[in-house]
Every structure is written in C-alpha cells, then in structure tokens.
Amino acid sequence: MSEFGSSGTYTRINSDADTIVLALTPNAVPEPPAIVPIPGKAEWERRMLELGRKFGRPEYARNINEQYTWYYDGSWVFRQIMEYTHQNFEGERAQCESVYYPYALGQPTGYRVFPHGFEMGYSAGGRHSDRYKVFYGPVLLNLANRSAYGVHSAAVIAEWLKGAHRSREAAYLLQALLACKRCDLGREVNDYDARVNTLIDLIIGHFDQWFDGKTSTWMQPFMVGLSAHALIEYATEYPGWDGAALILSDAATWLRDNAWNEERGAFYLSNDRPYEPWADRDGLRWAQDLNMLVAPIYAWLWKETGDAQWRDFGDKVFESGTRCEINNGKQFSQNYRLSFLYVKWREERS
C-alpha cells in the first residue's frame, strides 16, 4: 500500500505483483512575494516626533483659530502618535482638547466635527475607563446630535448636503454617528438608522458627481480623501455593503490621471474646471502638504485588491508628502490625521 499525502509528481521506479514503488518529486515551493518597504517612512516617523513637539506647544493650540493643531482633530493625531511610538504626548493632546472640547460641546459648524480623538478617549482602558466614558460620551453625542447639520432630520440633511461642495460636512457627520455606534452610544443618537442611510447615500452621490456623472463644478482632491475615509469606515462597520472598492478605484484612477502633477509631486488644491484637462493648469496651486489626506485611498485599494498599481502610486504620493513644508499646526494635523492609516493598510499586504 502507498499513501499519497504529499504534493508533487510521482514516478514509478519498480513494481511486481505485490508492490509498486514510486518516487516523489515535490512541487517547487514558490518564493514568498518580496516585501516592498514604504519609501519615506523613516522621514515620516522622524517628522512626527520633531514637528509634534513643536506644534504641540501651547502657542500652537491656544484658541479656536484654524491654523492651530486642534484643527483636523489634533487630539486624534497625538493619540495615534502615542499609540505608534509609545512616547508621551499627553501634554500636546491635552492642549488640543482644551481648545476643541468646549467648542464641540456647543454647536460646531459642519466642517469642524472631529469625533475620532474623543472616540479613542472614550474607549481608553484601565481603571479610569468609566471616567473617560462620562467625559467623552456627551461630547460624542453632541457632535452627532447638535452640530450644525447633526441637529437636523434625515430629510433636511438629504436636501442641504446633496451637493458635492458639502462633501466634507456629510463625511464628518457620518463619522460622528459611526463613532457613537462603535462606543455603544448608537441608541442615544437621534434617528440613527435613517440619518446613516441618508449620509452614505449622499456620499455615494458626491462620488458620482465627481467621477461618474462629472457634474461637479469644483474639485478638491483632499476633500475626496476625506469622503473616502468616511466611505471606508462605513464599509468596515457594515461589511454587507461591498461598493467601496469600485467607487474608490474609479476615484483613484481619475485623480491620478487628471489631478496629479508628477513634477511637483502633488495634487492640485482646487479646480473649478476639473473636466477640462488643460484648463488653466499653470494657474493651479499644487498642494503637496495635503498629499497625506489622499494617499490612504491607494493603500486601502492595495490592501483590498492586491493590485500593485495602487501600492506604487500611493507610495509616490506618500513619499512626496513626507517632503512637504509644514508651517503651522493645522498643516501638521492634516499630515498625520490619516497617514497612520496609510502605513497600516499598506503594510497589511506588504
């Protein structure tokens, strides 16, 4: 008797009436795919520490002026830095929260809704976790229920945020609702299901205006990046919906082919004639400092599809972003708000 438990090619080398002798030539074991390091990662890490210390100082977070570090969720930025580096940036985080927390307890405007830092605070472990929930729970619910658009019904939101020029407000509000759900606060969010369904429909509609119907009269790639982040969060929270990859691959292709300047290593800041390929391209402002808000689209597509075109172009966007000039706290937070996601998603499929 013979057992055929190994994979390969069997060749008969001898036989008689009672015995068959086979030789096994094992199948070749394929080489594992080469690990491609992220270009610029070391510089990204170096700058997060150097510039984090600089722009986390009190003079860069002292009031609600949008040039300071609190904007674009400085609290989340510093929490991510601490989680990644295991270095203490509690003072810098606290500076951001001391400015943004009381403002967020009021009625913040739709483009100033930043739930992620508060969500990380709410979910912090250890013996103080209940105290954190008492502190962060009300402000998370306030962003979801009392911010400029959060205070309204699904029907009003659907009307007021239907244009792609309101994409950021729709994305941020959806993320506030999803953050509440992840923190088991969803039951306390006003009309949660109806508003989440409305917001994801709006965001899908914004992508249609940008890249399918091409009816938008204004294109800002970094705004697409913010909406993509919300779309990915929704797809993660509701895995039964599988539309994100198709929507984002169309967006990523269009931005790469129509909004990227190879020489400058940047997407343009904005364009009010986005579908005229050569319309006033010399007059456009190229925003290298916003690369890190767009790059995660490509890392996520690489993770989901394994298509190296997304990895290779995303690395180009990321590496260029590590060389941008950062002159204020807002730019610092813009650069580190989503770039941790780039590294995470990119390295999940090295």
Q: Residue 133 corresponds to which amino acid?
A: K
pLDDT at 2: 43
pLDDT at 1: 41
Give the separation between CA 143 and CA 344, rounded to whole angstroms.
27
- Model pTM score: 0.89
Query: Measuring CA to CA, how many Å separate 307 from each of 63, 80, 233, 271, 333?
Result: 44, 28, 21, 29, 29
pLDDT at 62: 74
Helix (H, G, I), strand (E, B) or coil at 99: helix
Give the number of other Cβ atoms within 10 Å of residue 253's Cβ: 15
Q: Which residues contact 8 (CB under 8 A, 6 or more apart)?
A: 24, 25, 26, 27
Give the separation between CA 245 and CA 306, rounded to whole angstroms.
12
Closest listed residue to residue 329, CA positions, set 296, 289, 295, 293 = 289
List the chain pLDDT tens, one digit each, 350 residues: 444 455 666 666 665 656 666 666 777 666 656 789 999 999 999 999 999 999 999 887 678 899 999 999 999 999 999 999 999 999 999 999 999 999 999 999 999 999 999 999 999 866 567 889 999 999 999 999 999 999 999 999 999 999 999 999 999 999 999 999 999 999 999 999 999 999 999 999 999 999 999 999 999 999 999 999 999 999 999 999 999 999 999 999 999 999 999 999 999 999 999 998 765 666 799 999 999 999 999 999 999 999 999 999 999 999 999 999 999 999 999 999 999 999 999 999 87
Helix (H) or strand (E) holding 298: helix 291-305
pLDDT at 301: 98
DSSP assigned state of 111: G
pLDDT at 190: 96
